[in-house]
Chains A and B, each alone.
Chain A
């Protein structure tokens, strides 16, 4: 593996290897000394053109636990604000000897372009409405941890699928691992070309082992994809009553950040069947596994 650009580049074996290594990395995170010497002397650059808390911090923690040097580069307050192009920034990173670049960018495809310009490994940490492969991997890891398997499970992804890179990466990864994915949301936000779809959440819930809620991005609320926030919430929000319609073993996931009261009520978000906090914890282990696989061997 040279880069991690798309969840679609992973076959079942490669994905399972990442999850298995992540499980070993998780054991390290449970120790008093949460540090491995594995990537000593390697440099990881976090190149973030979009605001992000959990993904950036998660990658930073992952790289540091493997003893890599981390350089955080955010577009705000850098030469990007002065008009520097992605290509020129890439050359700068190249000149500084970055072994890996973790990039988040508002333009779909930016990590693919970057991969042609730098010698190091490129990890896609979210590009536009396209992909977010490490999120899909940590979701798969969380499902496997809670349910004991992924193969054969029915996963419903609910909400703004149209603009969601999390949904796209999960749509590529989870079926590779044997899960059946259904997309649920208002017709304006669920492109039928992506796979099996439903517009009725109540119909899908009793048939779901995993329900993955997506964030409704505030900026979309005024774009007339749905009549009002309240109507969206009533039809596609997950509340206590709907939680009780799900099978008893079923879990609720959310990639965060949540709009409590919009797509998910606090009762559901804080229930023991919600995996939201575990997803954050698992994110560090999964990203450690990805960094190890990309940087741990002969380059």
Chain B
């Protein structure tokens, strides 16, 4: 039987963003030299929200950038050619700053591997951290997140669908069975 259940509602997503914003402030002692880098597509609005919350909590405006990792993927040859999204360096660049990569779902870790490669072509951050809304497990590479919204145990056949208001009109995370 196919099934789908909502694992995070819009209120849950908001609370998680608030919490991660606080955690970033705590773990980086005030986030003075931090820049947020959202991984396309849904990491981008999440990074912007984190910046908004940190501005609200501490009055600190962090630079936000976007990173499209398509050209750094290790599976380009397995699939049809893909469109490319925008990469925008945060104001002031990434050199000697602490970069927090932001993505919606952490799964195999391959996207983050590609993002680290892309980041090293943009400059040389003093440190790189990772914030994700959902960690669904099944890592294929030695990568872990510094800030996790929700640990979600999943089967490999299941799908985690993240919807965000900026792109999809609503905040919601669903766990769906394979069709």
- A contacts, CB < 8 Å to B: 1, 17, 20-21, 24, 27, 31-33, 35-38, 292-293, 296-299
B68 to A: closest C-beta gap in Å: 7
Asked whether B68 lies within 8 Å of A297 as measured between CB atoms, the reply is no
Point out the residue from A20, A33, A293 that lies within 8 Å of B121, measured CB to CB. Answer: A33
Q: Is B77 among interface residues, defined by CB-CB distance under 8 A?
A: yes
Bound together, the chains give a CA A158 to CA B117 distance in angstroms of 46
Flag whether B139 is at the interface (Cβ < 8 A): no
A24 with B82: CB separation less than 8 A: no
Among B10-18, B83-91, B150-158, B167-175, the one that faces the other chain is B83-91
Query: Which residues of chain A are within 8 angstroms of B82 by Cβ–Cβ distance?
Result: 296-297
- In the complex, what residues of A have CB within 8 A of residue B71's CB? 36-38, 292, 296
Query: Are the CB atoms of A297 and B81 closer together than 8 Å?
Result: yes
Chain A residue with the shortest CB-CB distance to B120: A33
Are B81's CB and A37's CB within 8 A? no
Q: Select from chain B the residue with minimum beta-carbon distance to A66.
A: B71
Q: In the complex, are the beta carbons of B121 and A297 less than 8 A apart?
A: no
9 residue pairs of the A-B complex, CB under 8 angstroms, read: A27-B87, A31-B121, A36-B71, A296-B81, A297-B76, A297-B82, A298-B77, A298-B80, A299-B77
Residue on A nearest B81 in the bound complex, by CB: A297
1/0 per residue B40-82: CB within 8 Å of A?
A: 0000000000000000000000000000100110001111111
B122 is an interface residue with CB less than 8 A from chain A = yes
Whether B78 contacts A24 by the Cβ 8 Å rule is: no
CB-based contact A293/B117 at 8 Å: no
Q: Looking at the complex, which one of A21, A24, A35 makes contact with B87 (CB distance below 8 Å)?
A: A24
A17 CB to nearest chain B CB (Å)? 7
Chain B residues within an 8 Å CB radius of A38: 71-72, 76
Give chain A residues whose Cβ lies under 8 Å from the Cβ of B83. 17, 20-21
Top 7 A-B residue pairs of the complex, sorted by shortest distance between their CB atoms: A297-B81, A38-B71, A33-B121, A36-B71, A296-B81, A297-B80, A24-B84
Are A37 and B72 closer than 8 Å at their CB atoms? Answer: yes
Complex Cα–Cα for A56 and B114 (A):
31
Give Cα A38–Cα B117 distance, bound, in whole angstroms. Answer: 11
B interface residue numbers (CB < 8 A to A): 68, 71-72, 76-87, 117, 121-123
A64→B123 CA distance, assembly (Å): 20
- Report which residue of B82, B83, B84, B117 has the largest number of chain A beta carbons within 10 angstroms of its beta carbon: B84
17 new A-B contacts at CB < 8 Å, known A20-B83, A292-B81: A1-B81, A20-B84, A24-B84, A24-B85, A24-B87, A31-B121, A31-B122, A32-B123, A38-B76, A292-B84, A296-B71, A297-B76, A297-B77, A297-B80, A298-B77, A298-B79, A298-B80
Q: What separation, in Å, do the CA atoms of A36 and B69 have in the docked complex?
A: 10
Residues of B contacting A24 with CB < 8 Å? Answer: 68, 84-87
B117 near A37 with CB under 8 A, answer yes
Closest CB-CB distance, B71 to chain A, in whole Å? Answer: 4
Q: Which residue of A lies closest to B121 (CB)?
A: A33
A21, A33, A37, A292: residue with the most chain B Cβ atoms closer than 10 Å: A37
A-side contacts of B77, CB under 8 Å:
297-299
B110 to chain A, nearest CB (A): 14
From known contacts A31-B121, A37-B117, infer whether A296 and B86 are also in contact, taking CB-CB under 8 Å. Answer: no
Q: Are A297 and B72 CB-contacts (below 8 A) given A21-B84, A24-B86, A33-B121?
A: no
Enumerate chain B residues within 8 angstroms of A297, measured Cβ to Cβ. Answer: 76-77, 79-82
CA distance A32 to B85 in the complex (A): 20
Q: Which residues of B contact A299 (CB under 8 A)?
A: 77
Q: Which residues of A contact B84 (CB under 8 A)?
A: 20-21, 24, 292
Return chain B residues, CB-CB under 8 Å to A293.
Answer: 81
Task: Give chain A nearest CB distance to B125 CB in angstroms.
Answer: 14
CB-CB under 8 A from A37, the residues of chain B are 71-72, 117
**In chain A, what residue has the closest Cβ to B73?**
A38
Residues of B within 8 A of A21 (CB): 83-84
> In the complex, are the beta carbons of B121 and A296 less than 8 A apart?
no
B68, A296: Cβ atoms under 8 Å? no
Docked pose: A292 CA to B117 CA in angstroms: 18
In angstroms, how far is the closest chain B Cβ from the Cβ of A295? 8
Residues of B near A296 (CB, < 8 A) are 71, 76, 81-82
Chain A residues near B80: list those with CB within 8 A: 297-298
A27 to B82, CA, bound (A): 18
Q: How far is the CA of A35 from the CA of B71 in the complex (A)?
A: 10
